[in-house]
């Protein structure tokens, strides 16, 4: 019999690796979508729809998968989920029409539902004091977005884009088998069989849940959207080839994934609210500079007209993008620290709700990115949109968390003064 510690390590390690593969699959169109766009002659909005289609199903299934995980355990649900994506992945390499890519993308997108399964599965193996770190380590599987940017471009250049889905299908099958044979189940982690669906969904009436959905729609939904969009952005804005563009884009995707574990530790140490508050402020400042488009303007001086250029070099742009990636890595962990603290017996359902809304952000935003670029012709408009969403999140947090907490402290000080008198 394996010890409790051994089981915890095995569950955390294999779940993180499985989620990394699932996330790499989920982000596959960020790379292969570029040659498909050229092959089919798609516009920016159509490319956004192509890249975001897997995110739609991966988001919509998060709530039901979270509920199934609470009922039947994470191990069996995770294994079945991975197996369900193998055939659709392989068939993408055979597709030739736009509608075929969209249809198969919907099925492949099921891989994105792995998050709500794995986060609940992992959290139940750890005590409250270590849940933030454990969930952060699991969430580092977001680095699968960066893995796709490292692996897929080389396959595209060497063998063509059609080889990528074939390789990913084989990887998913192998990972599913390893996961099944190297993880464990604990019946005590399941909710009572008498708990109804209505009781599980009662959390939808809690306004705190919707606030966490808003936070997660930007720190995760925004992360997914930019992970899908940035490779093409570098190609269009800076003229890089697909391999160099994917490498630069990984400067956002990689820290946005692997540093989630550190964000979980910070949330354990300093609290979910404090970490999330600073994440939003740092993001707001960085996105302000990323939003400014390349600009040339003429100033009439005493010596005649002079032309000035304002714009971010690729290196400065990437540095700011890196800052956003780090901040959102911390934010993804801190939002789920809220959940583990306040809903310890309902993690699967709450994580499914919040994950669903965050994933929908990842679906809607790339489409809006494409529409904004088609409408305005300004590529940095994608960051203007994200800046506005961050501002809404900050205001919501201020009025529902910061002000009530300040008022509570003031009442405590007043009460203490009355006692002293």
Quick check: 152 and 246 in contact, CB under 8 A?
A: yes
Query: Which residues span the domain enclosing 90?
Result: 4-188+200-409
Mean pLDDT to the nearest integer, 364-378: 90
Mean pLDDT to the nearest integer, 59-87: 88
pLDDT per position as a tens digit, 179-191: 999 998 877 766 6
Q: Is the pTM of this model over 0.85?
A: no
Residue 332 placed within a domain: yes
Residue 296 has pLDDT above 60, yes or no: yes
Residue 255 placed within a domain: yes
pLDDT per position as a tens digit, 100-129: 999 999 999 999 888 888 888 888 888 777
136 or 92: which carries more pLDDT confidence? 92
Percentage of residues in the chain with pLDDT exceeding 70? 92
Residue 363 placed within a domain: yes
Element (H, E) at 299: strand 295-301
Residue 118 placed within a domain: yes
Lowest-pLDDT range of 282-286, 347-351, 376-380: 347-351
pLDDT band at 336 (very low <50, low <70, confident <90, very high): confident
Residue 421 placed within a domain: no
Residue 416 placed within a domain: no
Bin 160: left if φ > 0, else alpha if -120 < ψ < 50, else beta.
left
Residue 418 placed within a domain: no
User: Looking at residue 21, what is its pLDDT?
Assistant: 94
Angle between helices 44-60 and 221-238 in degrees, nearest 10: 160
What is the total count of domains within the chain? 1
Chain-wide mean pLDDT for the chain? 85
Mean pLDDT to the nearest integer, 232-236: 89
Residue 351 has pLDDT above 60, yes or no: yes
pLDDT band at 224 (very low <50, low <70, confident <90, very high): confident
Mean pLDDT to the nearest integer, 317-322: 94
User: Looking at residue 241, what is its pLDDT?
Assistant: 87
Residue 345 has pLDDT above 80, yes or no: no
63 or 344: which carries more pLDDT confidence? 63
User: Looking at residue 196, what is its pLDDT?
Assistant: 57
194 or 167: which carries more pLDDT confidence? 167
Q: For residue 234, what are the contacts with CB-CB under 8 A and spacing of at least 6?
A: 240, 244, 245, 248, 249, 314
Query: For position 11, which CATH number holds?
Result: 1.20.1250.20
User: Looking at residue 113, what is its pLDDT?
Assistant: 86
For the stretch 87-95, contacts whose Cβ atoms lie closer than 8 Å and that sit 24 or more positions apart, written own/partner, are 87/169, 89/25, 89/165, 89/168, 89/169, 89/172, 90/165, 90/166, 90/169, 91/165, 92/28, 92/165, 93/162, 93/163, 93/164, 93/165, 93/166, 94/162
Mean pLDDT to the nearest integer, 59-64: 83
Residue 26 placed within a domain: yes
């Amino acid at each position: 019999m394996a010890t409790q510690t051994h089981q915890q390590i095995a569950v955390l390690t294999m779940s993180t690796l499985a989620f990394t593969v699932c996330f790499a699959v989920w982000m596959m169109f960020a790379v292969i979508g570029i040659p498909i766009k050229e092959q089919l002659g798609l516009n920016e909005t159509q490319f956004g729809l192509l890249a975001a289609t897997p995110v739609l199903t991966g988001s919509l299934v998060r709530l039901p998968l979270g509920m199934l995980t609470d009922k039947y355990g994470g191990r069996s649900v995770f294994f079945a989920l991975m197996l369900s994506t193998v055939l659709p992945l392989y068939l993408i390499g055979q597709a030739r029409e736009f509608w075929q890519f969209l249809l198969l993308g919907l099925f492949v997108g099921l891989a994105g539902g792995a998050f709500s399964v794995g986060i609940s599965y992992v959290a139940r193996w750890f005590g409250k004091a270590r849940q933030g770190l454990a969930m952060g380590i699991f969430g580092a599987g977001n680095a699968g977005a960066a893995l796709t940017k490292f692996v897929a471009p080389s396959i595209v250049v060497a063998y063509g884009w059609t080889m990528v889905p074939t390789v990913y299908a084989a990887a998913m099958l192998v990972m599913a088998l390893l996961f099944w044979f190297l993880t464990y189940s604990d019946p005590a982690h399941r909710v009572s069989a008498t708990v109804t669906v209505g009781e599980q969904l009662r959390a939808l009436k809690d306004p705190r849940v919707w606030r966490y959905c808003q936070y997660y729609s930007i720190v995760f939904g925004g992360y997914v959207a930019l992970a899908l969009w940035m490779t093409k952005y570098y190609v269009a804005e800076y003229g890089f080839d697909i391999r160099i563009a994917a490498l630069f884009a990984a400067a956002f995707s990689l820290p946005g994934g692997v540093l989630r574990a550190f964000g979980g530790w910070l949330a354990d140490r300093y609290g979910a609210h404090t970490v999330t508050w600073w994440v939003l402020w740092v993001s707001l400042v960085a996105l302000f500079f990323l939003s400014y488009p390349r600009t040339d303007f003429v100033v009439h001086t005493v010596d005649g007209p002079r032309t000035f250029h304002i714009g971010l070099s690729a290196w400065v742009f990437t540095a700011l993008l890196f800052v956003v990636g780090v901040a959102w890595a911390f934010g993804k962990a801190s939002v789920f620290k809220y959940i583990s603290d306040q809903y310890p017996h309902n993690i699967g359902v709450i994580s499914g709700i919040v994950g669903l809304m965050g994933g929908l952000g990842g679906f809607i935003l790339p489409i809006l990115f494409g529409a904004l670029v088609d409408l305005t012709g300004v590529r940095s408009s994608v960051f203007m949109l994200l800046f506005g969403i961050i501002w809404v999140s900050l205001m919501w947090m201020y009025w529902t968390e910061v002000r009530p907490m300040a008022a509570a402290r003031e009442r405590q000080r007043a009460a203490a003064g009355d006692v002293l008198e």
